[in-house]
Amino acid sequence: MISIAEHPVPGTWVLDLRATTPRALPDMRAWVVRCLPDLGEKHLDDVLLAATELVANAYVHGGGARHIQLWRGVTPCAVRIEVADVSVEQPRARCSQIEDPRGRGLLVVDGVAVQWGVRRESVRGGKIVWAHIRCGGGCPEALPRVRTRRSRS
Q: Tell me the pairing of strands 115-120 and 127-134.
A: antiparallel
Distance, CA of 138 to CA of 41 (rounded, Å) = 7
Single-letter residue type at 31: W
Percent of the chain with pLDDT over 70: 78
At 4 the three-state DSSP class reads strand
**C-alpha separations of 79 from 27, 99, 101 in Å:** 19, 33, 28
pLDDT above 50: residue 1:
no
Angle between helices 41-61 and 105-112 (to 10 degrees): 150
Task: Write out pLDDT tens, residues 66-91.
Answer: 999 999 988 788 999 999 999 998 87
Task: Write out pLDDT tens, residues 107-152.
Answer: 889 999 999 999 998 888 899 999 999 987 777 764 444 444 444 4
End-to-end Cα separation, the chain, in angstroms: 47
The pLDDT mean for the chain works out to 83
Angle between helices 41-61 and 25-35 (to 10 degrees): 140
Helix (H) or strand (E) holding 111: helix 105-112
Whether omega before 76 lies within 30 degrees of 0, making that bond cis, reads yes
pLDDT of residue 8: 61
pLDDT above 50: residue 55:
yes
Task: Write out pLDDT tens, residues 7-48.
Answer: 666 788 999 999 999 999 999 999 999 999 989 999 999 999
pLDDT of residue 108: 87
pLDDT of residue 11: 83
pLDDT of residue 145: 44
